[in-house]
Amino acid sequence: MILAYYVQTSRGLGHAFRAHKILAHTSHRAPAWRIFALTDSQFLLSLAAGHGYRAIPLPRLSINTSTDQSPDELTERLFQLLVHELHVDVFVASHWRCLANELRLLLPKLRKAGVKIALALRDIVGQPMFEHEISRAYGVPLHDIISNYIDGIAVFGSENLHSILQESPAFGFSEKLSYCGFIPPFPDAPPAESTENVIQCVVGGGLNSEEILETAMAAIPVIRRHHKVDQARFVTGPYCKIETVIKLHKLSSQLPGITVTSFDPHWYNDLPANGIVICTGGYNTITEVLYRGLRSICIPKNIPGIDEEQAIRARSLTQVALIMTVSSGSLTSAEIANKLDLIWDLPGYPTPRELFDPGIRFRQFIESI
């Protein structure tokens, strides 16, 4: 089996990291397969070595972006690579938007060449979010694209999205869906052996997270009035404003046990089992929290048109005892400290591991189409 997985960097840093984990887990479960990531993400290109798949650099392929080549020329270049150089059996688009954007000229050519085409969806966690996303499909009839060119749809995350799609008459393609489970960390490592009380604040790429970082850091002295905090670790993300990063470093120098780093995709491997996570509710972080059974304070960014999904995900997680939320409208250091106090003595528990094996489920999905 020769599999090509398309990842465009404009979908975000977390999107590239999810793709890495899916491909790494799949190559582990299907070692005889040849697996390629076709991407313009430097982050993904840096991760691939030694994990069973090969990352091939591509120019950004977008019909909405001015380039040195026309859409037809870029499409033909990608088609030649997939069909005549790599001899791909299955092509996977890792985000539905690219079907309606940069790949819509490619799909008919792949179908004519006999290549199977699949779509991978992450956990959108709510019907309103899904319907909102569909409405932003660049004016292209997405349902026609799915009907004519997509052989199967893999759903990664909670079964909530899978059920929503199955039950939604507007979607209409339940027979093409395959639930592939949560995407666990990769590489997986046991929690750090430590009895220290550690608070980890992680905000993904860091874009539009400055207020959350600053307020969370201000909450550390407040929570220390009632609980012992040995370490507080802040990961700002590479896209956080430089003035905020400088401010955080200055504040951390005045508080013992606080560290600030720009980026650490494997932050969870250094966190003890009794650690507490402050996050924004992004897909990767939440699945890592659930996988470890960690306590967490979720502060969704909730920026219209960009991060609505974090607010939806946060609301859906209020039923989980280990995860509490702070809305952007009540974001104060006192409120974060109050939620930390409420969650402090709750015991952690592991999420059932059968929810976390996308490698074997995705392999079975690809074989089925």
pLDDT tens per residue across span 43-63: 899 999 999 999 999 865 544
| CA-based end-to-end distance of the chain | 12
Tell if the pTM clears 0.85, that is, is over it: no
Is the per-residue pLDDT at 191 higher than 80?
A: no
Q: What is the pLDDT of residue 264?
A: 86
Residue (of 293, 270, 93) closest to 184 by Cα position: 293
Is the per-residue pLDDT at 245 higher than 50?
A: yes
Q: What is the pLDDT of residue 166?
A: 56
Q: What is the pLDDT of residue 54?
A: 97
Residue (of 89, 91, 68) closest to 78 by Cα position: 91
Whole-number Å distance between alpha carbons of 239 and 228: 31
List the structure tokens of 194.
Answer: 């430590």
DSSP alpha helices (H): ranges in the chain? 13-29, 42-47, 71-79, 96-100, 107-112, 127-134, 142-149, 159-167, 210-223, 242-252, 283-292, 308-316, 333-343, 358-368
Q: Do domains 2-182+357-368 and 198-343 have the same CATH topology?
A: yes
H/E segment holding residue 152: strand 152-155
Is the per-residue pLDDT at 314 higher than 80?
A: no
Give how far Cα 135 sits from Cα of 100, 144, 170, 282, 327, Å.
12, 14, 12, 22, 26
Average pLDDT over residues 89-107: 84
Contact present, 146 and 104 (Cβ < 8 Å): no
Phi, psi for residue 22 in degrees, rounded to 5: -60, -45
Is the per-residue pLDDT at 361 higher than 80?
A: yes
Q: What is the pLDDT of residue 125?
A: 45
The domain made up of 2-182+357-368 has a fold known as Rossmann fold (3.40.50)
Strand order in the sheet with 177-179: 54-57, 34-39, 2-7, 90-93, 116-121, 152-155, 177-179
Q: What's the chain's average pLDDT?
A: 83
Average pLDDT over residues 65-88: 81
pLDDT confidence bin for 359, thresholds 50/70/90: confident
In CATH, the number for domain 198-343 is 3.40.50.2000
Whole-number Å distance between alpha carbons of 58 and 77: 10
Buried b (16+ CB within 10 A) or exposed e, 195-234: eebbbbbbbbbbbbbbebbbbbbbbbebbeeeeebebbbb
Range of weakest confidence among 21-25, 106-110, 220-224, 346-350: 346-350
Domain residue extents for the chain: 2-182+357-368, 198-343
Contact present, 40 and 32 (Cβ < 8 Å): no
Average pLDDT over residues 220-237: 96
Q: Cβ atoms within 10 A of the Cβ of 115, count?
A: 21
Residue (of 7, 37, 15) closest to 102 by Cα position: 7
Between 99 and 234, the higher pLDDT residue: 234
Q: What is the pLDDT of residue 89?
A: 98
